[in-house]
Amino acid sequence: MVELELQDGLAVVTIDRPHVRNALDLDTMGELEKTLDAAGGASALVVTGTGDRAFVSGGDLKELSRLRTEPEASGMALRMRTLCDRISAFPGPVLAALNGHALGGGAEIAVAADIRVAADDIRIGFNQTKLAIVPAWGGAERLARLVGPGRALLLAGTGRVLDATEAERTGLVDLVLPRAEFDRGWREVARSLATRQAREIKNLTTRTRSPEETAAAFARLWVAEEHWEAAEKVMSRGK
């Protein structure tokens, strides 16, 4: 089951399968696809899981074990790669709220987001090698962009699982919060990103722009009423 919460421009997508540590089967992949469709108009997107044990624990092995041919396996991998690509390409900021462990495919979904906020007791790792397979949902390429090719090879090649502090130190996680403050904290960060200016900043940081394009983005925000309201508040404090 995949749940969607929409409020004040923020879309929160929650993988709700706690009985299998929020693992994904084919039906859940279909639900995720529909949920991303419904979240399309939001200013910012959050992906998280139910409970405190797992963010997403990858594919549901018991269900996916029915896929026994190469075309079936390839089709599933491409389907999830497309969904992760959609998360990555969402026009506004995307935050992965790591409420629990993010292992295997769960780590791949996490790195599809722009920002990862983690509770301090979670673990994250590309441990697909333990199953004698490789990351297939775009996670290897995204991991390399985050931590560098050598470290990505070391982590994914050995299947090493990092705790939250190690993950933050390597750049795999952006912000670690105490468990008691986690739910409030990630929501606060997400709400602050559900703005027009954060959307523009994502565009500036995720693709190369000409000076003219950057200036045009700045100018659109400069002439907006929201900018002048904020500027008036700042100027009035200085009087």
Query: How confident is residue 223, by pLDDT bands cut at 50, 70 and 90?
Result: confident
Which tens digit of pLDDT belongs to each residue from 128-159?
999 999 999 999 999 999 999 999 999 999 99
- Helix pair 70-88, 105-112: axis angle to 10 deg: 30
Instruction: Kindly state whether residues 214 and 116 are assigned to the same domain.
Output: no
Structurally, the chain folds into a number of domains equal to: 2
Whether the CB-CB separation of 14 and 5 falls below 8 Å is answered with yes
pLDDT of residue 224: 82
Tell which residue, 131, 46, 134, 147, has the closest CA to residue 93: 46
Q: Could you give the angle at the alpha carbon of 60 between the alpha carbons of 139 and 184, nearest 5°?
A: 70
Instruction: Kindly state whether residues 212 and 141 are assigned to the same domain.
Output: no
Instruction: Kindly state whether residues 224 and 145 are assigned to the same domain.
Output: no
Q: What is the pTM of this model?
A: 0.89
132 located within any domain: yes
